[in-house]
Amino acid sequence: MTLRIAHTAQLAPAELLAVRALLYDCFDGDFSAEDWDHTLGGMHALAYDERGIAAHGAVVMRRARLGGRWLRVGYVEGVAVRRDVRRTGLGGRVMDALEGVLTRAYDLGALSASDEGALLYEARGWCAWSGPVGALGPDGPVRLPEEEGSTYVWPAPAGPHTELLFDWRDGDVL
């Protein structure tokens, strides 16, 4: 098993196609063109085995306002492990690499977790944001109550969880 960390621009077209196929398969076809777009433009952690890409995750730059201050947020996208190698530690290895990027380049890490994925993130010290979650939309701030409880941050900021307001993007905002 080898682990590679690379920027989107350093990935060959065939690698990008393989990552997109992995994500489409791992999310049971529920991985849209916008979801793919959200995965691009940052740093990728790719685990390879003899069959090819076995696991993937990416960190892309976002902006979020917390307590009146805009932060550089490393937003984790596209974390997936191929079905035949799940529960072998690859998700943890990918997250180790991504958390290293977060530590060195961002004020805060954030992600939107599925119920299954939340178990991995909580075990690694990520915490569900307990305050309001929103985005700065084209017409101003928009509260996203459907994202509350599934938006995770790392490391956990001290103090009460006030509103966490992300930059806007097409598709799933978070």
SS3 130: coil
Q: What is the spatial distance between Cα 160 and Cα 118, in angstroms, rounded to a whole number? A: 21
- Name residue 168's amino acid: W
Q: What is the pLDDT of residue 54?
A: 98
Q: Is residue 96 part of a domain?
A: yes
Q: Is residue 174 part of a domain?
A: no
CA dihedral of residues 116, 59, 156, 143 (deg, nearest 10) = -80
Closest CA to 8 of 78, 71, 100: 78
The string of pLDDT tens digits covering residues 63-84 is 999 988 999 999 999 999 999 9
Q: What is the pLDDT of residue 53?
A: 98
SS3 129: coil
Q: Is residue 173 part of a domain?
A: no
- List the structure tokens of 103: 């530590």
Q: Is residue 118 part of a domain?
A: yes
Domain count within the chain = 1
Q: Is residue 153 part of a domain?
A: yes
Q: What is the pLDDT of residue 116?
A: 87
User: Is 133:161 a contact under the CB 8 Å cutoff?
Assistant: no
The string of pLDDT tens digits covering residues 159-172 is 778 999 999 999 88
Q: Is residue 154 part of a domain?
A: yes
Q: Is residue 121 part of a domain?
A: yes
Q: Is residue 16 part of a domain?
A: yes
34 is in which domain, residue-wise?
2-167
pTM, rounded to two decimals: 0.95
The string of pLDDT tens digits covering residues 95-127 is 999 999 999 999 999 999 998 899 999 999 999
Q: Is the pLDDT confidence value at 158 over 80?
A: no
Closest CA to 122 of 106, 111, 138: 111
Q: What is the spatial distance between Cα 27 and Cα 60, in angstroms, rounded to a whole number? A: 19
Say which CATH number the domain at 35 has. 3.40.630.30
